[in-house]
Structure 1
Amino acid sequence: MKKVIYALILPLVVVSGLVFANHEIKNDTSKRSTPKPLSAAEREAELKKWEATPAGIKYKEWKASPEGKKVLAGAAKIRKHISAFTNMEAVVTSLSLPPGSRLGFGVMARIDGVDYIVKFEPEKSQLEQLRSLKVNDKIIIRSHSVSHAPKYSYPIVSGDYVERDSKIIYKRAPRKGGC
């Protein structure tokens, strides 16, 4: 009888020890301090330090180039729509991104006479609807962000919502676990 009781208690002790040890590890990670956000002066100093690096110099040269000015002007043209998260009418101009791009799934679209890369982060269930797009399709896009990079000759719009013929074909799923 004693052997049976010991056989039952031993796994209980082992499991509770593992649970307790796992709890300690989780508490330890939460006690780490998060870095404080930089002040405006510290941010400015870091920016100046970065601008002195080869990558910073190359970026500044790109910004001053005609191609860089064209990309920045295109991004500025839709900034009002981006900040207000309003509808932008677009026409799909290409179903593939420029050669060498590493943005994932996306299309090229023309908004107000300017070409943009529209990138998506679709789930598998949404891919089929996005792949149904064709060149010259008129779509409505809403986005929260527009970006640029010296590698690309077009501003990059992150598609959050796409509608074709008054039907939603893509809506970005909210991120799991917070922001």
Structure 2
Amino acid sequence: MTTIRLLSADDAADFQHLRLQGLRECPTAFASSHAEEADEPLAAVAARLQPDGVFGVHGAFDDNGRLVAVAGLGRERMRRLAHKAVLWGVYVDPAMRGQGVARRLLAWVLTQAVNEPSLRQVTLGVESANHAARALYESLGFIAWGTEPAAAWDELGAHDETWMVCPLPGRGPAPGPATEVDPVGNLFGRRGR
């Protein structure tokens, strides 16, 4: 069984290890790079992990207490954008893939977002070529609303980014299709699209 919780400064070393693993393994999936974060002091990582209510980095732990997956939930700070949260930094250790860890972690994060009354939607950007991630996000209720060509550029070339939104149940319409979605299929008594 996987334990899921919001990370704290005490998890800094484990988070940094998993984050660097992700940046090394999947360099095109992140805006940051391994080179940019490899020498970040642990104290700076710990400071980044200070939660703010439901906002912060959420982690999934295996039965041995090892951090195996992470997903960040950030808040937009400007008043007119404060109804949105941003899902970022999603990564699952390769040894744990195919076991539903990502789905459980993201369902947890989306449930936390639903429990934050000021939020109406969760947004994310995903590398357009990452079809598995896009399919997972769509199965959790995210709707693609646009693609930014060459959103990221590195030594491998240009990488397009698909932007997605997940309207939260009971919070009013989001841009695009007027729909309320369910991040885990039937948690809110409706089937997600």
TM-score, normalised to structure 1's length?
0.28
**The structure with more strand, counted as a fraction of residues:** 2
**The structure with more helix, counted as a fraction of residues:** 1
TM-score, normalised to structure 2's length?
0.27
- When Rg is computed on C-alpha atoms for both structures, the one with the higher figure is 1
